Amino acid sequence: MNTYWHKSTLTVGLGWLLSTCVWSQRTLTPDEAVEAALKNSHALKASSLVIKQNEQLIRSTRAIPNPELTFDSPTGVFYTLGVQQSFRLPTVYHQQAQLQQAYVGLAQKDQKITENELKFRVKWTYLNAQFGQSYLRQLQSQDSAYAQIAIAAKRSFEVGTIDKLALVFAETQAAELRNQVAMAIQEVILQKNQLGVLMGNALAPEVAVLPLDKMPLPTDTLGDVGAAPLVEMAKQMEVVGQKVVGVEKSSRLPSFMVGYYNQGTPETRMGLRLRAGVSIPLWWGQYKSRIEAAQTAQEVAHERTESQKQLVSLDLQMAQNEAAKFRTSLAYYQSVALPQANTIIETARRFFENGQTDYINFLRTTNDAYTIKLRYIETQRNYFQSILTIQHLTGNL
């Protein structure tokens, strides 16, 4: 029995060493993944173009109407040329420019949301790849031991030292572990492929992510709801609404016209050929209704901001509660469950070597201990997911 266990230990150790060498060929960090994703993101490029487009429209807010050229015969005797130019007061153009600046700010907030969503998705996928990698390694270490147990059980059955039930149970446990390992391998491949798509390039098979247990556990679960990207976007909509009100109010101001128009004979003096005019906004009702509608839209934007704050606060509170729950669970696993699991595995191994327990009891006992280790990895993943959610909601990714 001791010879078997020494071989099993050697096999597991060599497998772990080989796995470590393979993974260490190229390790991708979360920051590298995020940087590549931001660089190659078509969504971010589109957001940048939208900002550029709105900035280009600022000059158009100060555009004045094209001059009107006329060619007519005011006296019925001869034809004469005329020109007329209309324009608004500077206040109108200033208000229009401010509104367009607000749209630039809105596009910038939208870009921030796009960037925040991309970072969140990359880091979430990276975390899932970390989890899959850690989960796979844990299963592989258990699989190596169970495979050796199945081989030893078959030999013991052939010499008649164990019954058929013990053999079948050992082979079933080993087969189940092989199946779990196969599924875990596919899951790691899937997460790495998804990460490669987000980064804009395929990941080589030998590229690994940082081990989950090597990542520092963040403890800061606070966050400012007012700085949340979605809330900032809603606030900017309020600014846009305010500027729209300013534009509608300025539309009540009169517009002016100047021009040259000869209605006399060719010898008419130049001063008598010039003309000027003013557009008087007499129909106050139409202006008032548009102003009131713009003010109502501003109120709607304010209420939506408050609603967005409320929704973000609820989601943030839930994520903070989840983080606290999993943080407590991690402390339990680290201080109690994992040491006990290691003790169970070591004690079961010693009893098995000394012939104090059979195959079935050994496998059942160690399976429970390995399950504790797997649950610890799952709890790590859940805790990091809660932290990512908090950072995503508050825009701190």
Q: pLDDT tens across 143-153, in order?
A: 888 888 888 88
Q: What is the pTM of this model?
A: 0.83
Nearest to 66 by CA among 91, 90, 89, 83: 83
Q: Under a CB-based contact definition with an 8 Å cutoff, are residues 50 and 229 in contact?
A: no
The tokens of 374 are what? 């797997």
Q: SS3 string of 264-332?
A: CCCCCCHHHCEEEEEECCCCHHHHHHHHHHHHHHHHHHHHHHHHHHHHHHHHHHHHHHHHHHHHHHHHH
Distance CA 152, CA 5 (A): 10
DSSP output for 181-241: HHHHHHHHHHHHHHHHHHHTSPPPTTEEEPPGGGS---------GGG-HHHHHHHHHHHHH
With cut-offs at 50, 70 and 90, classify the pLDDT of residue 22.
very low
Given this model, what pLDDT does residue 185 score? 92
Residue 15 has pLDDT above 50, yes or no: no
Domains in the chain, ordered, with CATH?
2-394 (1.20.1600.10)
Total number of residues shown for the chain: 397
The pLDDT score that the predictor gives to residue 118 is 95
Give the span between the Cα atoms of 215 and 377, in whole angstroms. Answer: 12
CA distance 294 to 297: 5
pLDDT classification of 17: cutoffs 50, 70, 90: very low
- As a whole-number percent, the residues of the chain with pLDDT over 70 amount to 91
H or E element, residue 38: helix 30-40
Structural tokens at position 391: 């950072």
Task: Specify burial of residue 56 (Cβ count, 10 A radius: 0-12, 13-18, 19+).
Answer: exposed
pLDDT of 265 over the 80 cut: no
What residues contact 287, with CB distance under 8 A and at least 6 apart?
Answer: 248, 251, 252, 281
CA dist 239 and 305 (Å) reads 11
Confidence of residue 211 (pLDDT cuts 50, 70, 90): confident
Q: What is the pLDDT of residue 123?
A: 94
Query: What pLDDT was estimated at residue 379?
Result: 95
| 271 — pLDDT class (breaks 50, 70, 90) | low
Residues 34, 36, 40: CA angle, nearest 5 degrees: 120
Q: pLDDT tens for residues 336-360?
A: 999 999 999 999 888 887 878 888 8
Span 105-115, average pLDDT: 95
Task: Answer for the pair 101, 58: CB distance below 8 angstroms, yes or no.
Answer: yes
First to last CA, the chain: 53
Kindly report which listed range (113-122, 151-160, 378-387) carries the lowest average pLDDT score: 151-160
Residue 23's pLDDT is what?
Answer: 40
